[in-house]
Amino acid sequence: MNETNVCVVGNVATRPAYRELATGPSARFRLAVTARYWDREKNVWTDGHTNFFTVWANRQLAVNVAACVEVGQPVVVQGRLKVRTEVQGQQQWASADIDAVAIGHDLSRGMAFFQRAVKPEAPPTAARPEPNWETPRPTEPQHAQPEQRGQQQHMQEEGGEEGGPAPQEQEAVAVT
């Protein structure tokens, strides 16, 4: 695919906004990524330009983001970069969004405790009855000879069951 996959390290700038949508849970927050460089003249680390990204998380990732991510925390985000441009009045705006695949705390700047997410149990579904796929048996065998058909009709009229001879007539049929 021709998507731009990125991995960015920064600080959470806004509280995650969580929503339940028809397509499933969704969460978003703003991420501030500031470049830092060593200034040789001043002999100190200096902050460079800060880029802001809107990070989008969906499904279980959104649920976990809403529960674990807070403003100011250092995080690592991996996902697909999407740059959008909009025109509002006379101004043109550009925004960079990341559709997150994975989000985690930056352990080079702190400690975290991992806890596996508990999957909710699926509600029981009503069992559907099994369809009847069998074809019904014909009442009269199609492969029977014409004289056998006549005998079968006669036996049914005499009280035989399901097209077969009556119990007292079974011996007579077997003898002939």
Least reliable range by pLDDT among 100-104, 140-144, 168-172: 168-172
| Domain identity same for 24 and 97 | yes
CA 126 to CA 26: how far, in whole Å?
Answer: 29
Beta carbons of 51 and 96 less than 8 angstroms apart: yes
| Domain identity same for 91 and 24 | yes
- Confidence class for position 129, pLDDT limits 50, 70, 90: confident
Phi, psi of 93 (to 5 degrees): -110, 145
Q: Of 72, 105, 138, which one is at a domain's C-terminal end?
A: 105
CATH code at 36?
2.40.50.140
Least reliable range by pLDDT among 1-5, 67-71, 125-129: 125-129
CA 68 to CA 74: how far, in whole Å?
Answer: 12
| Domain identity same for 20 and 72 | yes
Calculate ∠ Cα 106-28-107, nearest 5°.
Answer: 5
| Domain identity same for 95 and 9 | yes
Residue 148 CA, distance from chain mean position:
62
What pLDDT, on a 0 to 100 scale, did the predictor assign at position 31?
Answer: 96
SS3 139: coil
**For residue 172, pLDDT beyond 50:** no
| Domain identity same for 83 and 158 | no
**For residue 109, pLDDT beyond 60:** yes
| Domain identity same for 10 and 86 | yes
Report yes or no on 134 lying in a domain.
no
**For residue range 35-66, what is the model confidence (pLDDT) as tens digits?**
999 999 999 999 999 999 999 999 999 999 99
Beta carbons of 38 and 45 less than 8 angstroms apart: yes
Report yes or no on 50 lying in a domain.
yes
Report yes or no on 23 lying in a domain.
yes
Domain that holds residue 38: 4-105
Cβ partners under 8 Å of residue 151, min gap 6: 173
Domain count within the chain: 2
Report yes or no on 164 lying in a domain.
yes
Report yes or no on 22 lying in a domain.
yes
Least reliable range by pLDDT among 51-65, 99-113, 127-141: 127-141
State how far the alpha carbon of 4 is from the alpha carbons of 20, 27, 98, 99, 167, in Å.
Answer: 27, 21, 10, 11, 82
Tokens of 98: 């990341």
Least reliable range by pLDDT among 21-35, 131-145, 158-172: 158-172
Q: What is the mean pLDDT of the chain?
A: 81
What pLDDT, on a 0 to 100 scale, did the predictor assign at position 136?
Answer: 72
| Amino acid at position 9, single letter | V
What pLDDT, on a 0 to 100 scale, did the predictor assign at position 169?
Answer: 47
CA 123 to CA 25: how far, in whole Å?
Answer: 18
Report pTM: 0.62
What pLDDT, on a 0 to 100 scale, did the predictor assign at position 149?
Answer: 53
Report yes or no on 128 lying in a domain.
no
